[in-house]
Amino acid sequence: MAKGLNKVMLIGHLGNDPEVKVMTSGQSKANFTLATTESFKDNDGNWQEKPEWHRIIVWGKLAEICGQYLKKGRQVYIEGRLQTRNWDDPKSGEKRYSTEIVCSDMQMLGAQRDQNNGAGVYDGGERSQNDSSHQGYAQASLSHSTAPSVSILENEKDDLPF
């Protein structure tokens, strides 16, 4: 019998630039938030979107890659595991909890969004699926897991709230 499974796979957009720190051990650590969006029809038949925010923690070489290449608004595939931390709040003395995703794999998807345009327009425009250069669809991954293809997501970019 299996002991359990703790695996998370997300596709979303960064809510902030990654914050990278080098720990006293010499290992790099990156933190950022990721927004995923659920689309659904309300009782009146109108499409609604509900964002969900996730805290992402990345360690080692992958943390350095995140710090170098990821920016707010960038679409990424994240794979990892859930981890809950707890601590006592020094001001109130209350027990605090934070559930985070510890990332083991990351792939950049889509083109970098233009941060100067509040409408969230993508740089570069449409690219054909057969474009062998894939100049707006960079990928960075330390493992060889399979992420959803970019071509599936190209048609959905107009549905995103960013």
Q: What's the pLDDT tens digit per position in 116-139?
A: 433 333 333 333 333 333 333 334
Predicted model pTM: 0.66
Range of the structural domain that residue 94 is part of: 8-159
CATH code, domain with 39: 2.40.50.140
Range in 17-26, 71-80, 83-92, 152-161 with the lowest mean pLDDT: 152-161
Q: Is residue 88 over pLDDT 80?
A: yes
Q: With 50 as the cut, is the pLDDT of residue 34 above it?
A: yes
101-110 pLDDT per residue, tens: 999 999 999 8
Q: Which residues contact 81 (CB under 8 A, 6 or more apart)?
A: 6, 7, 8, 101, 102, 104
State the pLDDT at residue 18: 98
Q: What is the pLDDT of residue 73?
A: 95
- 71 domain residue, yes or no: yes
Q: Is residue 2 part of a domain?
A: no
Which range is least confidently modeled, 32-41, 87-96, 128-137, 153-162? 128-137
Q: What is the tally of structural domains in the chain?
A: 1
Q: Is the confidence at residue 147, as pLDDT, over 50?
A: no
Task: Name the region of 110 (left: φ>0; alpha: ψ -120 to 50; beta: rest).
Answer: left
pLDDT at 17: 97
**1 domain residue, yes or no:** no
Judge whether residue 145 has pLDDT over 50. no
66 within some domain: yes
Residue 52 within any structural domain of the chain: yes
**In the predicted model, what is the mean pLDDT of the chain?**
77
DSSP string, the chain: -------EEEEEEESS--EEEE-TTS-EEEEEEEEEEEEEE-TTS-EEEEEEEEEEEEEHHHHHHHHHH--TT-EEEEEEEEEEEEEE-TTT--EEEEEEEEEEEEEEESPPB-TT-TT-PBSS----TT-TT-TT-----SS-PPPPPHHHHHTTGGG---
pLDDT, residue 111, reads: 66
> Which pLDDT band, with edges at 50, 70 and 90, does 112 fall under?
low
Enumerate residues 6+ apart whose C-beta is below 8 A from 108.
Answer: 69, 70, 74, 75, 76, 137, 138, 139, 140
Whether 32 is in a domain gets the answer yes
Whether residue 65 lies inside any domain: the answer is yes
